[in-house]
A and B are shown apart, each in its own frame.
Chain A
């Protein structure tokens, strides 16, 4: 965990890429989310001060949009696509398989901090359905069995993942 003061300094640096206008609230929070993989409380306070908006407004944005998380996420974020094409090609079975292997529900992170599980609506790779994106890597035409093998590689370390 980073020191509060350090988060404030880093966040201010991110925020100052934008003029202090309220319309940039969403954009600044997106950049902060990208930097920390979540929105630390201190960062949200810093942004509120910078834009001179009430903290409640920052909280409203942070909880309204799907892009944001208030809790730290795992090293690898597993995004199982549950877009329509993936859904009818069995994405639910992939989610069940991950639940069985890692013991986490969508929105949760494993105790070791290695994986977070998310379901997303369409990653646009409908021809490869069903699809999961782990970190930045796309994995298509998955079955529960092939997904199990892929997860094993990530558990063994990223250097073996490919």
Chain B
């Protein structure tokens, strides 16, 4: 096995969208045709996890450790001929690392990878997603065996407590304490649940783990079930995540065949079974009580807490709900020990966190970093900075429950508590980088729009409060803002935070309030000067071409969908404001920044 060459074709959703399925087939065909003794392993891995999904499809060849980017089906024959048979490297398909100013042979040496530390994503992309044998080779199910044969439930819980692991779904509640509550709770049947209802727009780490390494999630859940005395598990996964559902179902089936799930696991008297429940596409179901109602077959509306699910959860029984990424950490903690895990990260936030680094950033992808790293390191070192040398404005974390962190806070340590202190939160790990062409008023409006659609409507503060805030923001973006609007937003926001039933409502005003705090001048420009400084809000934007800067290249002219731009080659162009629909296309095409906002 070790000496055998293997080709890993990234088949995550991002690379599949770029045609990696075709490449996988082409490899199989070509290798079969030549009769080579090579394994072609489909690496089912979400976009960007190995980095750069905009550089996809990615192909990695071992043992030479060659990573190719932007591979096309037409490159396959050449790769087989030169890199698999002859061990040559095809320069043209290598990644050019801008920071190192060189082409790099293996992804392990990309600057993108340098500051990362993979625990939850340790296997993603390195094993075939549909192979339990690959998982077993990477110490798979060893932690479960260790727990079943050498530890009591109490010892397992103590280990998790000592590790300092906190819930990765957003709240950051200490995992070990949660487990101990369920262990003590009295109930006929206890349940273990995986929350895979990843709904934050811009976050996709949970899907990546479910697709790329499903067994690690199952193993984590089985360990918890043993510790608290549960026999059944449910994995609530968004139905939109077709590949994740498929891979997880297959993983459950093979784990059963091999005796890691089912009755008398590994020859002990421990019995444990798991099944997948597909989510219906409601953001509120990420809230744990809503999720429970959804599994029970009802509408996903939250209940007041307490009672907490650890006491009375699914069908009124003690239930542990953890996020996908939390589960993926558990087997590693058991294998390597609580002390090892607690040595990584910051004082109160141990271990690592996976972030989906997206937006106006050069290296889009999933990154896993030790807690306590600074935002600056993530964005400018791992992420490679802002494209087209534009100016960094803010980074949004925590999705619709979080907030934007401005430039002067870039040296903030990334952990649960410092992000909350800045009016944002860790959330499930979306990290959206924003440059000077994003309007912070409209951005706040975007999240409220999302939340007003996703509010389940059960409690009045959330349902009506968000709607009222949205109406005010709509007005401001359309140029109908009035003095006093900012104060009114703050007042309604405080009411919604204080009185909503569940986490969705309690955190819903955060994107607006944090933007008011950090970018108040933009709100004031919209209201008082009827001007959108970022040039996004259409009613408040007028573009013009700066004649001094324009080089007359004609790029803007061609990009304009309404023919509002005219001019001769190599002479300054003119923009007809009467025709302009302020779509901003021309700004994206202009290489010299000549399109300006009035």
Contact, CB under 8 Å: A143 / B585 = yes
Contact, CB under 8 Å: B201 / A121 = yes
The residue from B296, B443, B559 contacting A22, defined by CB atoms under 8 A apart: B296
Compute how far the CA of A23 lies from the CA of B232 in the bound complex, rounded to whole angstroms. 15
Interface residues contributed by chain A, number (CB under 8 Å):
43
Which of A1-9, A70-78, A87-95 lies on the face that meets chain B? A87-95
Compute how far the CA of A60 lies from the CA of B301 in the bound complex, rounded to whole angstroms. 11
The residue from B16, B280, B364, B583 contacting A144, defined by CB atoms under 8 A apart: B583
The residue from A64, A82, A84, A144 contacting B358, defined by CB atoms under 8 A apart: A84
Q: A124-B13, A126-B364 are in contact. Are A68 and B207 (CB under 8 A)?
A: no
Contact, CB under 8 Å: A84 / B278 = no
A-B contact count (CB 8 A): 142
Tell me the chain B residues, 1-60 only, with Cβ under 8 Å from chain A: 13-14, 16-18, 46-48, 52-54, 56
| Residue A123, interface by CB 8 Å | yes
Task: List A contacts of B53 (CB < 8 A).
Answer: 125-128
A127-162 CB contact bits vs B (8 Å, 1 = yes)? Answer: 111010000001010011100000000000000000
Contact, CB under 8 Å: B46 / A124 = yes
Task: List B contacts of A27 (CB < 8 A).
Answer: 277-278
Q: Chain B: which residue is nearest A144 at the CB level?
A: B561
Tell me the chain A residues, 16-73 only, with Cβ under 8 Å from chain B: 21-27, 30, 57, 60-61, 64-68
Contact, CB under 8 Å: B280 / A68 = yes
Task: List A contacts of B365 (CB < 8 A).
Answer: 127
Contact, CB under 8 Å: A88 / B443 = yes
Least Cβ–Cβ distance between A89 and chain B, in angstroms: 8
Contact, CB under 8 Å: A126 / B278 = no
Q: Chain A: which residue is nearest B399 at the CB level?
A: A84
| Residue A122, interface by CB 8 Å | yes
B270-296 CB contact bits vs A (8 Å, 1 = yes)? Answer: 000000011011110000000000111
Task: List A contacts of B201 (CB < 8 A).
Answer: 82-85, 87, 121-122
Task: List B contacts of A143 (CB < 8 A).
Answer: 559, 585
The residue from A21, A88, A126 contacting B438, defined by CB atoms under 8 A apart: A88
Compute how far the CA of A126 lies from the CA of B199 in the bound complex, rounded to whole angstroms. 14
Task: List B contacts of A121 (CB < 8 A).
Answer: 199, 201, 283, 450
Task: List A contacts of B446 (CB < 8 A).
Answer: 84, 87
Contact, CB under 8 Å: B585 / A93 = yes
| Residue B203, interface by CB 8 Å | yes
Task: List A contacts of B248 (CB < 8 A).
Answer: none
Q: Chain A: which residue is nearest B13 at the CB level?
A: A124
Q: Chain A: which residue is nearest B438 at the CB level?
A: A88
| Residue B187, interface by CB 8 Å | no
Q: A22-B297, A23-B296, A122-B202 are in contact. Are A129 and B280 (CB under 8 A)?
A: no
Tell me the chain A residues, 70-126 only, with Cβ under 8 Å from chain B: 82-85, 87-90, 93, 96-97, 120-126
Contact, CB under 8 Å: A84 / B202 = yes
Least Cβ–Cβ distance between B225 and chain A, in angstroms: 19
Task: List B contacts of A65 (CB < 8 A).
Answer: 280-282, 299-300
Contact, CB under 8 Å: B359 / A84 = yes
Task: List A contacts of B14 (CB < 8 A).
Answer: 124-128
Known A123-B13, A123-B240; further 6 A-B contacts with Cβ < 8 A: A24-B297, A121-B283, A124-B204, A125-B13, A126-B204, A127-B56
Q: Which B positions have Cβ atoms within 8 angstroms of A?
A: 13-14, 16-18, 46-48, 52-54, 56, 199-204, 207, 239-240, 277-278, 280-283, 294-300, 356, 358-360, 364-365, 396, 399, 430, 432, 434, 438, 443, 446, 450, 456, 559, 561, 583-585, 588
Q: Would you list 25 pairs from A and B whose C-beta atoms are within 8 A, ordered by A residue?
A: A23-B295, A27-B278, A61-B280, A61-B299, A64-B299, A64-B456, A65-B300, A68-B280, A82-B201, A84-B396, A84-B430, A88-B434, A88-B443, A93-B584, A121-B201, A121-B450, A123-B240, A124-B207, A125-B47, A126-B359, A127-B14, A127-B365, A128-B14, A131-B17, A143-B559
